[in-house]
Amino acid sequence: MKKIIMRLALVLVCMAVAWGAVLPAGSEAADQPRVEKKAAANGPASVELGAPVVDKASILTKAQVEKLTEKIKAVEEKHQVRIGIYTLKNLPSGMKAGKLANNVLDEHYAGGQNGSIVFLIAMGSRDWYISTDNTMRQRIVDGVGIDGLKDMFLEDLSDGNYAESFGAFVDGVDKYLTYYEETGEPYDPANEFSYTAAAVAVLLALFAAWAFRGGLISSMSNVNPASEASAYLTQGSFHLSRNQDTFLYTTVTRVAKSKNDDSSSSSCSDSSHGGGGGKF
């Protein structure tokens, strides 16, 4: 009987030891997925929230994102603004690029001391849109301001040089904001046109043409000026016998005026946002 009790005790001790060894491993394995899931859920969201570059379309390399981020942060600090570059594969169903860009600005990039601006592109529909808040709108105005930025980045964007295109956009924003801070008014390409320089150029061109013409005339030995028009007509070589005008018919051709379908003029501006966009 004593032997049976000792054997039962030994079995219970072995089971206790085995259970103690299994329980920590099992609980750790059970808790691990929750930890990993939480990290996976919080990681990307915290990176994307207000990040200078959010590349949901995956068109940039990690090195390109880091370089753009560094450039954007330098311009943000220089002018006390918020700048965002936001790419995605497709627009949500029924959503326009301009409306989405406005929402992205309000949710993730609002609060720039001197304004906020977001550059959004949708790869599926080939849409681009620049959204500004009202503070930035005073510095980069709708129309000439947005079109000026477009001219800086659109060619590279259409050619698939996305990093270069985004870099040109950031450089353009820097240029426009610097101009505003120095002059107190938004940049307008027309301001760079000098009427004085244009007038001087016209005068120089006229003088050069007059001098060239005079040189050609002076080199012609068989031509002399005539004081009367009759000198150019051989006497007796022309006789007008009859003078009559006959009306035949009139042809009228009407061509429909083509409508301007320039996608770059599309805008979702409202009381709180400026900007514009188009196709690339």
**Within-domain flag for 68:** yes
pLDDT of residue 37: 36
**CB burial of residue 69 (10 Å; 0-12, 13-18, 19+):** middle
pLDDT of residue 175: 95
Closest CA to 277 of 76, 64, 100, 159: 100
Structural domain including 26 reads: 1-48
Separation of alpha carbons 133 and 244, rounded Å: 72
Same-domain check for residues 90 and 22: no
Contact (CB, 8 A) for 142 and 265: no
Same-domain check for residues 101 and 7: no
Q: pTM for this one?
A: 0.60
Same-domain check for residues 160 and 106: yes
pLDDT of residue 31: 40
pLDDT of residue 1: 54
Grouping H, G, I as helix, E, B as strand and the rest as coil, residue 235 is coil
Please give the structure tokens belonging to residue 187: 């940049």
Could you tell me the CATH number of the domain that includes residue 98?
A: 3.10.310.50
**Within-domain flag for 24:** yes
* DSSP symbol at 266: B
Same-domain check for residues 107 and 20: no
Separation of alpha carbons 240 and 233, rounded Å: 14
Q: Tokens 């497709």 identify what position?
A: 90
Rg value, the chain, Cα: 38
pLDDT of residue 34: 37
Same-domain check for residues 37 and 94: no
Same-domain check for residues 138 and 82: yes
**Within-domain flag for 67:** yes
Contact (CB, 8 A) for 140 and 169: no
* DSSP symbol at 276: E
Separation of alpha carbons 32 and 28, rounded Å: 6
Total of domains in the chain: 2
pLDDT of residue 40: 36
pLDDT of residue 33: 38
pLDDT of residue 117: 97
Please give the structure tokens belonging to residue 77: 């600090």
pLDDT of residue 23: 44
**Residue pLDDT tens, the chain, 280 long:** 555 556 666 656 556 555 555 444 444 333 433 333 333 333 333 346 679 999 999 999 999 999 999 999 999 999 999 999 999 999 999 999 999 999 999 999 999 999 999 999 999 999 999 999 999 999 999 999 999 999 999 999 999 999 999 999 999 999 999 999 999 999 876 666 555 666 677 877 887 887 787 777 777 666 666 667 667 667 777 677 777 778 788 888 887 655 544 444 466 777 889 999 999 9
pLDDT of residue 5: 58
pLDDT of residue 246: 80
